[in-house]
Amino acid sequence: MLAAENAISGNIATVGYGLAVLGPGIGLGILIGKTVEGIARQPEVAGQLRTTMFIGVAFVEVLGLLGLITGFLFT
């Protein structure tokens, strides 16, 4: 009976990490897409937009890593 409980908790942790990655994945898509759109509209501010995008990408990636770390901590 104990082995079945461990298998269920492992599967739930996997699903939880999948859901934790879903948010940052959507966030990265929106962030990069809007940056490319902004650069296409105003090419003269490409450097500023790119710098701001990389800062945003770093913050969004931290969310994905937090999901990974909490998955390891609670298993």
- CATH (domain of 61): 1.20.20.10
The total of structural domains in the chain comes to 1
Q: Answer yes or no: is pLDDT of 67 > 70.
A: yes
Q: Is residue 58 part of a domain?
A: yes
Q: Is residue 4 part of a domain?
A: no
Identify the pLDDT of residue 58.
93
The pLDDT > 70 percentage for the chain reads 80
Q: Is residue 2 part of a domain?
A: no
Q: Is residue 69 part of a domain?
A: yes
Domain of residue 24 covers 18-74
Separation of alpha carbons 68 and 75, rounded Å: 11
Q: Answer yes or no: is pLDDT of 6 > 70.
A: no
Separation of alpha carbons 19 and 52, rounded Å: 26
pTM over 0.85: no
Q: Is residue 8 part of a domain?
A: no
Q: pLDDT tens digits for 26-58?
A: 989 999 999 999 999 999 999 999 999 999 999
